[in-house]
A and B are shown apart, each in its own frame.
Chain A
Amino acid sequence: MNIDLYERIWMWAASALVVMFLAAILVPAAVQAIHPPSHVETLDPTKLAEHPEFATGGVNTRSDGSVVVSVAASMFAFTPNPIEVPANAPITFRITSADVIHGFQVVGTNANAMAIPGYVSQMTVTFATPGRYIIACHEYCGLFHHEMVGTLIVR
């Protein structure tokens, strides 16, 4: 193909930039297993009130010291609330919804997942800084979406 020299240089440079961007994602994914939350687990959203884990939600410490937080989102609250977890420990959040799609975002951190009825989202996060964090619903869920706020206390 007859392509101008400068344009050819630009095309190689652009290719290099794309490869660099991709490498910045692929290398940590391959070497450190850094992935987005991609858990696949289903449950019946209409029977959440009888569900052993999500009926009340809760914070549970396993025998190996890891902490599991089970959260049920519903219009317009998170259950349980507030949530208290230790600092500097891996916290596994398990999140689902009792009605419509909600979001679960610990403001100021990268703890961020969707709460989708019928599915369980799961992610593991370590909080280094103790304090009170806002948990915001970040997916429109109805007229009081903006009031759907929870509290995370890291001790």
Chain B
Amino acid sequence: MAGKHTLAASHIGVAVAAFGVASFMGVLQALSMADIAFPWRSESLYYMTLTAHGVLMALVFTTFFIMGLGYVLARESLGRIVGQAAGWLAFGLGTAGAAAAAVTILRGQSTVLYTFYPPLQAHPLFYIGATLIVVASWIWGAIIIASFRAWRREHRGEPIPLPIHGLLATIILWYLATTGLAIEVVGMLIPWSLGWVEKIDPMVARIYFWWFGHPLVYFWLMPAYILWYNVLPQIAGGRLFSDRLTRMVFILFLLLSTPVGFHHQFSDPGISAGWKLAHTVTTYAVLYPSFVTAFTVIASLEIAGRMKGAKGLFNWIARLPWSDPFFASVALAMIGFAFGGFGGAINAAYAMNALVHNTAFIQGHFHVTLGTTVALTFMGATYWMLPRMLGRELRAPALARIQPYLWFFGMTIFSTSYHIAGIRGLPRRVYSGALNGTAGGDWHGLTVAAAVGGVILFASALAYVIVVVATWTSGRRIDAPPFEFAVPLRPEPVAGVWDRFGLWTALAIVLVVLAYAYPLAQLLSHPRYGSPGFQPF
């Protein structure tokens, strides 16, 4: 292993392992929802693996992958990782936390799903383990910021390297988001699960959870965007269309992705309609940077096609490297995001949300966003990073070429089926779509179709894991190719307004306070009674 990326590679290894295990659980859940029998099918297995699938995919796979990617970007764009030893400490803490949480889940002591809404109560180690993963990510963020500051001392007045600009926005956003989570988990859930306090207010906990829960989505999405802006045009053979707007997009995400949490709580009591409306406005505003991204990234690809000699209106598309696994993954991820983005606009419109809230529509929605936009980008990025990190040639390249298409095909079936079933009223997260024999006919065909999609997705996940493991263990040793980032058409000459992170961070904090201080104070001033803990059976 090329030593300078050992820390990053270790994180990617944990991420891929979590992904593989969670994928297998995912296919069992899709079969179960469709009422298709398999040997160990049971309620407790379904909800236990649903918890594990959510925690492993949404927390372990994503966080570890992003940490690994962050170390690669710092090493390559800043030329250093300051405090590598602390990075290993964080890796140990995060891995131990993930293992502790996983053990309590697999032993059936924490079947609370990855949203862990109280008063359903999990084993204390579940909450503590999840906290350790977040603490690891905090240490990681501090390391990246320290590395950036050391770079800055040697490069006064220069624009921040573009990949690092996006990474810094991601990290600051993550600190803002996880503040809400820390208040919920450390301030409320851990003392309550240990029996130090008897009761918990589920509504207050939900508000803190969704303060964290939506920017969490952007914590996943922004590293994908970093790859779209900085790596995709390079792989495609083009230029980044606009350096400055890329910076604007990252800053807008930093500002707008946190003060939006109530759009997950439209159907909740305890929050006034005016505040739900206020969060709706910010929710729609956060669509804007994604629209800008669509233009910049696609324009960058058109440049690539034209540089390869395309002349017509659309034939540049055919000149793009569709057989490159990184390119194909990201291009398909972007198509997925077009659907996911408009689905999100539907969810945020509360008249339409009333029809689909907590139905299978939501399952369909976040499997095209997190499950395709983010996961497929990360899978593609794995193919890009592995040879460069390990100095090994990708094994089974044909499998790597097919895998993104297989994922996209499976996900199209899976997600479309659940979107439609959700509009018809199938609730999300049910062991049996037949709902105790009352409702089979309305959506049974759709749940079966989704299960077929799930099997295809599992085949694709398996192909990904096989390529990664084979490359890691027996890929032919080569000189590690360099990590190269896209060159902008017009690079920024000096650090501009979008590089002023102090200013933007302050503004982001103000927005979070504006969005949450008053409604929280309002709720906390009511007479509240609290709930004791309940086990899920």
Contacts and interface: CB of A to CB of B under 8 A. Distances in A.
A28 B507 CA distance: 31
A11 B292 contact: yes
A92 to B, nearest CB: 14
A97 to B, nearest CB: 9
B358 A112 contact: yes
Interface residues of B, number: 76
A7 B245 contact: yes
Contacts of A59: none
Contacts of A45: 529, 531
Contact of B528 (A34, A37, A42, A111): A42
Interface string A67-82: 0000000010000000
A52 interface: no
Contacts of B285: 18
Nearest to B32: A146
Given A45-B529, A136-B435, A146-B436, A36 B534 contact: no
B268 A107 contact: no
Contacts of A39: 269
Interface in B267-310: 267-273, 276-277, 280-281, 284-285, 287-288, 291-292, 295-296, 299
A2 B493 CA distance: 12
B113 interface: yes
Contacts of B242: 3-4, 7
B359 interface: yes
A108 B349 CA distance: 18
A105 B425 contact: yes
B47 interface: yes
A121 B277 CA distance: 18
Interface in B451-480: none
A117 B530 CA distance: 8
A91 interface: no
B518 to A, nearest CB: 13
A120 interface: yes
Interface in A77-110: 99-101, 103, 105, 107-110
A46 B531 contact: yes
Contacts of A142: 47, 120, 534-537
A149 B272 contact: no
Given A107-B439, A116-B203, A143 B119 contact: no
Contact of A36 (B350, B359, B429, B438): B350
A36 B354 contact: yes
Residue of A22, A109, A117, A146 ringed by the most chain B CB atoms within 10 A = A146
A17 interface: yes
Nearest to A75: B534
Residue of B269, B292, B429 ringed by the most chain A CB atoms within 10 A = B269
Nearest to B295: A10
Given A117-B202, A121-B267, A145-B431, A46 B273 contact: no
B529 A43 contact: yes
B47 A149 contact: no
Contact of A25 (B244, B349, B529): B349
Contacts of B531: 45-46, 99-100, 117-118
Given A36-B350, A117-B531, A143-B111, A29 B277 contact: yes
Given A24-B349, A117-B202, A146 B354 contact: no
Given A107-B425, A121-B268, A134-B435, A36 B273 contact: yes
B513 to A, nearest CB: 21
Contacts of B287: 14, 17-18, 21
A128 to B, nearest CB: 15
Nearest to B438: A149
A138 B427 contact: yes
Nearest to B357: A112
Interface of B: 43-44, 47, 50, 111, 113, 117, 119-120, 201-203, 206, 241-242, 244-245, 265-273, 276-277, 280-281, 284-285, 287-288, 291-292, 295-296, 299, 345, 349-351, 353-355, 357-359, 424-425, 427-432, 435-436, 438-439, 442, 490, 522-523, 526-532, 534-537
The 10 closest A-B pairs by CB, nearest first: A107-B425, A14-B291, A35-B273, A138-B427, A138-B358, A146-B430, A142-B536, A110-B354, A38-B273, A36-B266
Given A14-B287, A112-B357, A116-B206, 8 more contacts: A7-B295, A11-B292, A40-B271, A43-B529, A100-B117, A101-B206, A105-B427, A136-B425
